[in-house]
A and B are shown apart, each in its own frame.
Chain A
Amino acid sequence: MSNIFSQQLILSLISGVFISGIAGYLGTLMLSKKMSIVAGPLAHLSFPGVAIAIIFGFNIYLGVFPFVLIGAFLIWLLEEKTKLPVENLAAIIFAAGIGTAFLFLPIDQAEAALVGSIGTITLLETIIVIIISLLIFLVIKVLYKRMMLINVDEDLATIEGVNVKKYNLIYLLSIATVVALGVYLVGGLITAALIAIPAASSKNISNTMQAYKVWAVIFGIISTIAGIVIANYFKLPIGPMVIIVEVVVFLVSIIYRSLVQYK
């Protein structure tokens, strides 16, 4: 058996921890229907972003970042201008994204796009992931309570002095960035899960805001570490394994909640 603590594994673990940590943290802001639905199409936009990068032959992450950032901005603009229900926008973007991606994406090069490639992440990429994660963490930390108030009620937040339009845009751009990072870890199809599931698990066991945030990050991180280690040991793709572990954690949190409720 090879040394399970190879340098590559360490890089994968470090970058995985940062990505899942920031994804879990951001996921805690998806409490209202609007704030959760609006994140879905963005995550799905990562897929055509990856496809375009592959087709035009440049680094996948260079393809994804601008694509999802522009996508975030367009979704924000569409929502402001058309006032269409976000569910409809989400469905349209999802269909358009997946449709065009599969039209052009050469299937044999799709693996990274579909399941992520954190198993081969380089030192430079890890450093970039760490820096971006920390930046986004700072942004969200500073804006957290305003965005939580928007989750409660947008009109209440507006009268309180929150510029709801501005914060919606920042929120979407943050999701876009975390989604782009998430592509490394879990691929383009299930990045939404990386953001949503740890926070959902935490919601089942937390009663205060602080506990909620902390547990979401913890669940994201331990799922990722477990997922990477297990996948590495059994030579399975890392991305899906991380998601499976997150789902298991979620199921455990549901059982915990029902036990606590029946005390």
Chain B
Amino acid sequence: MSVLFEVKNLSVRFGDNRIIDKLSFKVKEEDNFIILGPNGAGKSVLLKTLLGFIPYQGEIVWHKKPKLGYLPQGLTQMRVKDFPLTVQDFFALKYKSVSIDEVVHFLELVGLDKSILQQRAGHLSGGQFQRMLIAWILISHPNVVFFDEPTTGIDIGGGETIHSLLHTIQLKEKITIILVTHDLSVVYKYSSNVLCLSKKKHICSGPPKEILTPKMLENVFGEEIKFHHHH
């Protein structure tokens, strides 16, 4: 697959603090690209910088103009708990209007029944809300989607479902996924390429099998980690 975008010597600073320091990597089309690292390593900052929210030094070169999708960190049903918004109302907020049939189609794609349309968005479970958001993002037919910690606040079983869902959708819709997580279990199973960031700015990148050695993980996460493959 050809290169979708390249990052060259990217640096991001907040005051004197170098959050990202001369980072370079490439993302290929249809990658399932994971940005892995402990909290505070700058993963979210990197994501937001790639999306254009944060000023930077260095270069971000897109080889193809992307149609972007973005699932921000921390956008859970708790945020909209008090909003008198049904799921249907939520989809009505799309920039370009979408028909009910399209909404139902995408809800089914993420495993939600159309009866959910009349439920309050804020009263869904964490897993349901995430899936609804994924449908909401996909309904615009993006070709590159950025996910920032999409399984925070969801139990392990639910999180596994989200990731396998994303994998299935990716194969089907031929989209590139860039996903930030600190959850290791995801990485080995679905990713095609991993970028690890750590607070000590130690980075590594490449396919998961090459990257995910105990030594490497220790460097990234700062403590001894044992990793078991389950199949």
Do the two chains belong together in a single complex?
Answer: yes
Contact status B94-A208, CB under 8 Å: no
Q: Give B36-92 interface residues, CB cut-off 8 Å to A.
A: 48, 51, 53, 68-72, 75, 79-80, 82-86, 88-90, 92
A31: contacting residue among B68, B72, B83, B89, CB under 8 A: B83
Q: Give A109-164 interface residues, CB cut-off 8 Å to B.
A: 145-146, 148-149, 151-153, 155-156, 158-162
Count contacts on A: residues with CB < 8 A to the other chain.
Answer: 24
Q: A145-B92, A159-B69 are in contact. Are A208 and B80 (CB under 8 A)?
A: no
Q: Give B96-129 interface residues, CB cut-off 8 Å to A.
A: 120
Contact status A153-B72, CB under 8 Å: yes
B70: contacting residue among A145, A149, A155, CB under 8 A: A155
Contact status A203-B93, CB under 8 Å: no
* A206: interface (CB < 8 Å): yes
Contact with B along A178-210 (1 / 0, CB 8 A): 000000000000000000000000110011111
Contact status A211-B84, CB under 8 Å: yes
- With both beta carbons as reference points, the residue of chain B lying nearest to A147 in the complex is identified as B93
CB distance from B49 to the nearest CB of A (A): 13
A151: contacting residue among B48, B83, B95, CB under 8 A: B83
Q: How far is the CA of A155 from the CA of B72 in the complex (A)?
A: 7
Q: How far is the CA of A148 from the CA of B80 in the complex (A)?
A: 11
CB distance from B89 to the nearest CB of A (A): 4
Chain A residues, CB < 8 A from B70:
155-156, 159
Contact status A161-B95, CB under 8 Å: yes
- With both beta carbons as reference points, the residue of chain A lying nearest to B86 in the complex is identified as A208
Contact status B82-A203, CB under 8 Å: yes
Chain B residues, CB < 8 A from A203:
82, 84
Q: A155-B72, A209-B92 are in contact. Are A31 and B82 (CB under 8 A)?
A: yes
Contact status B83-A160, CB under 8 Å: no
Contact status B72-A207, CB under 8 Å: no
Q: How far is the CA of A152 from the CA of B86 in the complex (A)?
A: 13
Q: How far is the CA of A234 from the CA of B89 in the complex (A)?
A: 44
**How many interface residues does chain B have, given as a range?**
20 to 34
Contact status B75-A153, CB under 8 Å: yes
Q: How far is the CA of A31 from the CA of B85 in the complex (A)?
A: 11
* A212: interface (CB < 8 Å): yes
Chain A residues, CB < 8 A from B94:
160
Chain A residues, CB < 8 A from B48:
155
Chain A residues, CB < 8 A from B88:
208
Q: How far is the CA of A212 from the CA of B84 in the complex (A)?
A: 7
Contact status A162-B83, CB under 8 Å: no
Chain B residues, CB < 8 A from A212:
84
Q: How far is the CA of A98 from the CA of B88 in the complex (A)?
A: 44
Chain B residues, CB < 8 A from A159:
51, 68-70
Chain B residues, CB < 8 A from A146:
95
Contact with B along A155-177 (1 / 0, CB 8 A): 11011111000000000000000
Contact status A152-B79, CB under 8 Å: yes
Contact status A207-B53, CB under 8 Å: no
A145: contacting residue among B51, B68, B79, B93, CB under 8 A: B93
Q: A159-B69, A161-B95 are in contact. Are A152 and B84 (CB under 8 A)?
A: no
Chain A residues, CB < 8 A from B120:
207
A160: contacting residue among B80, B89, B95, CB under 8 A: B95
Chain B residues, CB < 8 A from A206:
84
Contact status A207-B84, CB under 8 Å: yes
Chain B residues, CB < 8 A from A149:
93
Residue among A158, A159, A207 with most chain B CB within 10 A:
A159
A152: contacting residue among B51, B68, B80, CB under 8 A: B80
Q: How far is the CA of A148 from the CA of B89 in the complex (A)?
A: 10
Contact status A152-B83, CB under 8 Å: yes
Chain B residues, CB < 8 A from A161:
95
CB distance from B68 to the nearest CB of A (A): 5
Contact status A162-B82, CB under 8 Å: no
Q: How far is the CA of A151 from the CA of B48 in the complex (A)?
A: 19
- With both beta carbons as reference points, the residue of chain A lying nearest to B88 in the complex is identified as A208
Chain A residues, CB < 8 A from B68:
159
* Interface set of B (CB-CB < 8 Å, partner A): 48, 51, 53, 68-72, 75, 79-80, 82-86, 88-90, 92-95, 120, 140
Given A155-B70, A160-B140, A208-B86: 15 more A-B contacts, CB < 8 Å = A148-B85, A152-B75, A152-B80, A152-B83, A152-B90, A155-B48, A155-B51, A155-B53, A155-B72, A159-B51, A159-B68, A160-B94, A208-B85, A208-B88, A211-B84
Can you report 5 A-B residue pairs in the complex whose CB atoms are below 8 A from each other? A149-B93, A207-B86, A208-B84, A209-B84, A209-B85
List 3 A-B pairs, minimum CB-CB distance, nearest first: A212-B84, A209-B89, A159-B70
